[in-house]
Structure 1
Amino acid sequence: MMLSSTESSEVQGFGLYAGEKLSAGDFVGEYKGEVVTKEEGSRRGAVYQHLKTNYLFDLNRAQEVDSTRAGNKLRFINNSAKAPNCEPRVMLCNTVVRIGLFANKDLEPGDEMFFNYNYPEEVTKHFWEKGQAKPSGSATWQDLNDVLGEEDDESFGDSEQDFDSEENGRARKRARKARE
């Protein structure tokens, strides 16, 4: 993965910033996370939508990648429908489907990276573009940590952690408790 930094974003929570000069077409990195079924992704997506955050990425017709807890720092690339400077590409590498992110224009060190999530309006109403005012009721990364019961941690490295239905059940209970 190219050099980058994760910092607060004026757009949404954290953002990922180029740590070196990138040219259009350069490989930024691989979007990593836990591979889950579409059914499981829909269930988790309902929880994440309530939290006004989402790190689910469609991989193929049957699976999604959830980088909420088992991902890398590429999950912090924010949405921009108007001015994306990166693009995802789903690729087959040695019989494994992977998601690569590539610069689609030249980037300077310190530029925040964006790609178009292509989410429906019901989801993107919680997002905003660079230079726009933050919508009321938008969640922060700390809100997600509070519900998941995690510490605010800036070590956004790769994780090999596996999740089971028991852990998912605990996350749903914490989300319900946070709403109360």
Structure 2
Amino acid sequence: MAGIRPRRAKKKPEQEAVYYASMCKDKGGFVSKYINSFKGRGVFTSSHFHKGDFLIEYRGDVINKEDYERRLKLYDNALEVFLFEFRFNGKQLWVDAAKEDDSLGRLVNDDHVNPNSKIKIITVDKKPHLCLFAINDISPGEEIRYNYGDSEWPWRYQVTSETEEPASLVCGDNRILCV
């Protein structure tokens, strides 16, 4: 049996999330594509992903309430949508992904009807990282989407000339939820 190598064990999804979060980079298998002027860009798969797989991190500066309020005054509405609110160790925090940095997580769109991923907080070196995990199998070419939450996001109720349907069925924009 010389020459046969043992199969390398696949990392568990949480271990994979920790690895990519600690490296501050996206894993392969995704591309950013322009969708339309209403939705903007989105993230699409170029590989198959299974239910439970780690997909991508929503990466940016982790800030407190004081920094959040200061940045809100500086940002126009187009950048405010990149502020992701969450709780970690009893504290209210935000990830500010407003800076265009080629990370893909900031481009994942909302879908409150049929999301295919969800956010989980992963801790790396005692710091929170917001990571997306598949909630069902995802085929190559599919857009990655998650539910931004129960807020009344305006695009869910708008009708545009491009969509001709209520936006609640289109589920698009790069707004962020509080988990």
> Does the TM-score normalized on the shorter chain lie above 0.5?
yes
> Which amino acid is the alignment partner of residue 82 of structure 2?
Y
- What does residue 67 of structure 1 align with? 97
Change (3 A) 1:49 1:78: farther
Deviates more, 1:67-76 or 1:22-31: 67-76
Report if the CA contact (8 A) 1:58-1:64 is conserved. Answer: yes
**Does the alignment pair 1:26 with 2:53?**
yes
Please say which structure displays the higher CA radius of gyration.
2
**Does the alignment pair 1:125 with 2:151?**
no
Change (3 A) 1:117 1:20: same
TM value normalised by structure 1: 0.63
Report if the CA contact (8 A) 2:156-2:166 is conserved. Answer: no
SS in 2 for 1:108: coil
Q: What CA RMSD, in Å, does the superposition of the two structures yield over aligned residues?
A: 3.1
Deviates more, 1:89-98 or 1:17-26: 89-98
User: CA separation in 2, counterparts of 1:80 and 1:110?
Assistant: 17
User: CA separation in 2, counterparts of 1:127 and 1:75?
Assistant: 19
**Does the alignment pair 1:102 with 2:133?**
yes
TM value normalised by structure 2: 0.63
What is the percentage of aligned positions where both structures have the same residue? 24
User: CA separation in 1, counterparts of 2:63 and 2:157?
Assistant: 28
Report if the CA contact (8 A) 1:12-1:127 is conserved. Answer: no
**Does the alignment pair 1:56 with 2:56?**
no
SS in 1 for 2:48: coil
Point out the structure with the larger strand share: 2
User: CA separation in 2, counterparts of 1:53 and 1:9?
Assistant: 21
- What does residue 9 of structure 1 align with? 35
Deviates more, 1:46-55 or 1:17-26: 46-55
Unaligned runs of 5+ in 2: 1-26, 175-179
Give 1:6 shift.
0.3
Point out the structure with the larger helix share: 1
1:113 pairs with 144, 160, 169, which one?
144
